[in-house]
Amino acid sequence: MYSKGIGATALKRLMTEYREITVHAPEGITAAPISESNFFEWEALIEGPADTPYEGGVFVALLTFPKDYPLSPPVMKFTCPMYHPNIYQDGTVCISILHAPGDDPNMYESSSERWSPVQSIEKILLSVLSMLAEPNDESGANIDASKMWRTDRKQFDAIVRRTIQHSLGL
């Protein structure tokens, strides 16, 4: 199926990263291909960081890798409800490490903050874990969450906690 060309290179890289993340999984993170027949679709589970409104939550996300990975970044999308300044309402994560390589057309990010082939699945997931703890409210994907994060942290925290309880069926 992926015997030749760029897809084969991506598959080899994804298999290597899978072995690495299985052996040396970061605390609070689990990730693996959804099926052994398709290494280009992964599911990740991220535990909410301690001492944040996300604490106690377990968040499910889908990583979709392009055939030219690692030259291009994957797309990461939470499949559970998320209320966060850097997560679009459809669950798509907006974080520099997942933005295409090169110069930012909006001149907000430096090219060193954006995707590069030296990044890894582990680095992506650790960056998202960090993003949950420390949102970037200046580059909001969810404008309402960004405003609330800045102006009414108590209400923001309450919405996040309700979202977590709902997703856990509590």
List the catalytic residues. 94
Strand partners, 108: none
Nearest to 85 by CA among 76, 94, 72: 94
Distances 35 to 30, 32, 72 between C-alpha atoms, Å: 15, 8, 22
What region does 85 belong to: left with phi over 0, alpha with psi -120 to 50, or beta?
Answer: alpha
